[in-house]
Structures are given as C-alpha cells and as structure tokens.
Amino acid sequence: MSTRHYVLLATDGFIKLPLDGEVCTENRKEVYIFGFSGGLLEVDGVKIEENKYLDYKNPKNWNMILSKKGTATIPSPMLWGEVGDQIYVTLINIGMKYRPDLMDFHTVHMHGAHVATQIDGFPETSFGVPMWEETTPITPPPKATYFFHPENPGTLMYHCHVEASEHVQMGMYGALVIYPSMKSLAVNGITKSSTSGYWKLNGKVQKHIPKTATNRNFAYNNIHSYFDKEYVMLLSDIDSSWHESVLKNIPFNAVNFKPDFWLVNGRAFPDTLCPHPLSGDSDPNLVQINYDSYVHVKTNEMFLLRMINMGYQVVPWHIHGWHFMVVGKDSHLSPFLKLGEDRKHLDHQLTEMGFTATIGSGETYDLIIAADDKRGLYRNYIVRGQDGFPSLCKQLREIQNINPSAISNIPEEPVHCPNPKLINYIEICSQPHGDPNDQFFPQFYPMHNHDDYKVTNNGVYPGGQLTFIQADAPDKQM
Ligand SMILES: [Cu+2]
C-alpha cells in the first residue's frame, strides 16, 4: 500500500494533427486544446526527480509551475495506483496562455471511482478550483486535493467536469489505472512463493505465469487476467471548428458537434505508430504504463488493451488477426471469469470473446489477447504453395514486378522520425526459411474504429483511430 500524490496543472495548449497518412508528415493542422500538465509528485513521501517542481508548497517552485501555462497535452498525464493505495490528486488552475481572458474554474472528476460527492468534481454539486491569477506569485495557488482509495482493480478515466460539454471536448481527460495489490490477489487465492518464485492459485503452481511477473501483471484479482504487456487505448474525437471557436472566442452551439479527427491516446494515425511524447521517463514510478499506441508483442505473449472511450461517439473497435477475451468492463471482472466454489473451475464455453468491442462514451473495456502462433496454419500456403496454388510469396513477387507500389512498406516499431525503418512484405516473405522461428516475422495486424470513415484525418484516408499490432517471433526456447 502506497500513498501516491499527483499534481495536475489545468491550462491550454496546441496539438498538431496529421492531415495525411504519411508517417512523420509535416502536413499538419494546429488545434487549440485545454488539458492538464504535471504528473506524479511523490510516492510515500519520496519525490519523483523530474517532477520536483510540482511541489507547490515551496514558493521557489511557483514561477516554474506558472511557466507551464500553455503546455497541456491530450491525453493528460496518466494516474495509476494499486488496490488499497491512497491516491491524492492536487489540482492547480494556472490559467490559459492563449486565452488569458478565460477565467474558468476546473475540477478533476475521477470517472468510475467510488468517492464522496464533495470530491467528485461535478461542480454543480460541489465546487470548482479558481484560477491562480498572479503572474509574479507572492501568495500560494488556490488548489484542491482530490482523494481516492481504490477498492477494486480496473481501468477508469478522469476528466474536468466544469462545463463538461466544452472542457471535455477541448481535451481535459486522462487515463486512471488501478492494479490489484499482492494482498487483493492473495484474498482471491493468488500468491507468489517467496522461496521458489512461482505463482500459485490456491497453492497450485501456475507455470504459465513467469516468475518475473508482479501484481501489476494482472488486470483483476483473477488468474485469467494475467498479461505480459499492457496498453492504454484512450479514444476520443475532435471537432476542430469547435476548438477554433474557443480560441477565437466565438460562440459554438454544442449540438452542431461534427468531428473531423478521431484519436487514440491523443493522436491520429499515422502518429499512433510513433512513440508517445509523454513516454520514456526513467523513473519506474512513471513508466509502469504509458500512452504508446503501437502494440509490439512477441508471438505467444498475452497482452491487455485497456480501452477507454472519452469521445462523444460510440466506437466499434475492431482487431484483426486474433480474438480478444473480455476480462472486465468499467472496473468489474467479467462474470464469466468468476471461478466456481472451488475457485478452480472456469467454463471456457462461457468466456466472452470477440473481434469487435463496441465502446460507448464513458465506458472502459479490458481486453486480453493471446498472440497465438499462426505459423503452422499458414506456413505451407504462404511459403510453399498448396493444392496447386503457388505460394503467396511467389504471387506477391509477380505483383511487385507489375506494380511495386501495390506491396506495402510497413513502419516497424520503434518508429523514428524523420527516418522510420520500413519493412516490405516481400522482405518478410523472402526471409530465410531454414529457421522456423524466423518465418513470417514480424507480423503486422491493424486495429481500428470500424466506422471506417473515422479512419480519416479531415476526410483523408488513412488516418484517425487506426494503429498496428506488431508480433515478433516467439522466444527461442524448448
Ligand atoms: Cu475544466
């Protein structure tokens, strides 16, 4: 159990959304946003080095805090903790750099959290946090500290609830992730041997779970919620004309909402393939999970997608190549995964599976995918040919001779701009066939909003809510 103290600074900023499907494109539209900057200040009283400036009790930090005006991002910093933690979130309203006349209050609403109405962030039933009006500060900032004591693991979100139609559209939201604790796992029969390092369910060793796993490799207090890697997929939508109206102080009627950009973790394809600007911090308290949206796994790994919809439209999220298992929704374990009286029995016939999850605004889904090994299924046809049909690779080489542009070049993760490494499908086909571990890798699968007109940027395909899953060869073992 830890005490985690986050400090969020409400302000404004700009994002630059791509206008075409070229990786690293410079053809972009600037969109004015609101949001929170800041992040994790301290854990159990120990300050996070890069965030020490957020210690608002020290007057020496006040100028630095105010200098963050105009640095809002979409999404806002991720908040996370474990069951049983004490999570404190201090909100300081530092005001707008590009609309200094805007004196709006802001709040933090932890969406899905069991909290008292006084700290729920809905200002109509509680309060808002006024702006720190000083430019050369001599008095401490007005602030409010929200508190959340999570009792259950799951995927949640937070957002400002002041004038929510506008402030949410403008971008004041982020992910809130709660992991099980060792204690909450143990209450449900899941323990880790301190001598052998093996994970156990009711005393029975679970060899498929590596010894290196921690409580933060479970989505819920349930053995079937184990994952090797996890990704937050925070979905939202942008009507850039609304944002422009706010910037220019022109009234906008919210019922005219008509989005032209659809985002995953604040970015539209192809930016969804690039490392997220908020990722890459060194402190383990910051890097447990981040906003990267290019899913990169190894064959046979289990990966968790924490789907969050902060947009105003329903998203049919479709995943190519594999089927997902719904392990939870809105921070509740799927009833199909609840174990029987003996806490061993699971009826797989009843497991909720799918290839498209329909996610409404304000909903979260936790989806686990096993990156199954498909080599056995496809080796003959793709590499060797079958039943009189030439191999697919041979067919592709013929197509390439006729029209090389028909064969795609796929940006491989990590994607470095301005010179991303591209891999061509023919290259994948022509890899040496001697080592069965290396055939067909990497594999690339898209996942996207299946309202396919939302896989666009300002009407241009491809864009929007689209990203890739890259699956590499399995670890060489056995
Ligand atoms: Cu607000």
Mean pLDDT confidence for 14-41 = 96
C-alpha distances (whole Å) from 318 to each of 209, 312, 321, 357, 447 are 28, 18, 10, 7, 6
Q: How far is the CA of 267 from the centre of ligand 1 (A)?
A: 21
Query: Is residue 159 situated within a structural domain?
Result: yes
Q: How far is the CA of 196 from the centre of ligand 1 (A)?
A: 50
Q: How far is the CA of 258 from the centre of ligand 1 (A)?
A: 21
What range does the domain containing 101 cover? 3-179
Q: How far is the CA of 9 from the centre of ligand 1 (A)?
A: 11
Mean pLDDT confidence for 325-332 = 96
Query: Is residue 122 situated within a structural domain?
Result: yes
If we measure between CA atoms, which residue out of 400, 380, 401 comes closest to residue 389? Answer: 380
Mean pLDDT confidence for 113-129 = 93
CB 190 within 8 A of CB 202: no
Q: How far is the CA of 436 from the centre of ligand 1 (A)?
A: 55
Cis bond leading into 462, ω under 30°?
yes
CATH of the domain at 147: 2.60.40.420
Q: How far is the CA of 96 from the centre of ligand 1 (A)?
A: 11
- Residue identified by tokens 């900057």 is 37
Query: Is residue 262 situated within a structural domain?
Result: no
Whether the predicted pLDDT of 478 surpasses 50: no
Whether the predicted pLDDT of 21 surpasses 80: yes
Residue scoring higher pLDDT (378 or 60): 60
Q: How far is the CA of 106 from the centre of ligand 1 (A)?
A: 4
Express each pLDDT in 450-477 by its tens digit: 999 999 999 999 999 999 999 998 887 5
Q: How far is the CA of 51 from the centre of ligand 1 (A)?
A: 22
Q: How far is the CA of 28 from the centre of ligand 1 (A)?
A: 26
Instruction: State how many domains the chain has.
Output: 1
% of the chain at pLDDT higher than 90: 81
- CA torsion through residues 334, 340, 343, 349, sign: negative
Express each pLDDT in 184-240 by its tens digit: 999 999 999 999 999 999 999 999 999 999 999 999 999 999 999 999 999 999 999
Express each pLDDT in 334-369 by its tens digit: 988 876 555 555 555 567 889 999 999 999 999 999
So what's the pLDDT on residue 379? 80
So what's the pLDDT on residue 339? 64
Q: How far is the CA of 107 from the centre of ligand 1 (A)?
A: 6
- Residue identified by tokens 């969406």 is 111
Q: How far is the CA of 109 from the centre of ligand 1 (A)?
A: 10
Whether the predicted pLDDT of 142 surpasses 70: yes
If we measure between CA atoms, which residue out of 339, 4, 368, 367 comes closest to residue 150? Answer: 4
So what's the pLDDT on residue 283? 64
HSE, CB side, 13 Å, CA atoms: give it for residue 6.
28
Q: How far is the CA of 99 from the centre of ligand 1 (A)?
A: 14
Query: Is residue 359 situated within a structural domain?
Result: no
Q: How far is the CA of 215 from the centre of ligand 1 (A)?
A: 34
Q: How far is the CA of 161 from the centre of ligand 1 (A)?
A: 6
Whether the predicted pLDDT of 286 surpasses 60: yes
Confidence grade of residue 282 (pLDDT, cut at 50, 70, 90): low
Q: How far is the CA of 108 from the centre of ligand 1 (A)?
A: 8
Query: Is residue 16 situated within a structural domain?
Result: yes
So what's the pLDDT on residue 377? 79
Q: How far is the CA of 350 from the centre of ligand 1 (A)?
A: 42
CA angle 426, 428, 434 (to 5 degrees): 120
Q: How far is the CA of 332 from the centre of ligand 1 (A)?
A: 28
**What is the separation of C-alpha 283 from the centre of its chain, rounded to a whole number of angstroms?**
19
Q: How far is the CA of 10 from the centre of ligand 1 (A)?
A: 7
Query: Is residue 12 situated within a structural domain?
Result: yes
So what's the pLDDT on residue 350? 65
Q: How far is the CA of 105 from the centre of ligand 1 (A)?
A: 6
Sequential DSSP letters for 376-398: HHHHIIIII-BTTBPPHHHHHHH
Whether the predicted pLDDT of 143 surpasses 70: yes
Q: How far is the CA of 296 from the centre of ligand 1 (A)?
A: 34
Q: How far is the CA of 38 from the centre of ligand 1 (A)?
A: 15
Query: Is residue 34 situated within a structural domain?
Result: yes
Confidence grade of residue 436 (pLDDT, cut at 50, 70, 90): low
Whether the predicted pLDDT of 388 surpasses 50: yes
So what's the pLDDT on residue 170? 98
Residue scoring higher pLDDT (85 or 278): 85
HSE, CB side, 13 Å, CA atoms: give it for residue 101.
4
Q: How far is the CA of 378 from the centre of ligand 1 (A)?
A: 52
- Cβ neighbors of 94 (< 8 A, separation 6 or more) are 9, 10, 11, 65, 66, 68, 69, 131, 132, 141
Express each pLDDT in 148-175 by its tens digit: 999 999 999 999 999 999 999 999 999 9
CB 216 within 8 A of CB 288: yes
Mean pLDDT confidence for 311-330 = 96
**What is the separation of C-alpha 364 from the centre of its chain, rounded to a whole number of angstroms?**
11
Q: How far is the CA of 162 from the centre of ligand 1 (A)?
A: 5
How far apart are the C-alpha atoms of 6 and 90, rounded to whole Å? Answer: 6
So what's the pLDDT on residue 335? 86
Residue scoring higher pLDDT (412 or 336): 412
Query: Is residue 92 situated within a structural domain?
Result: yes
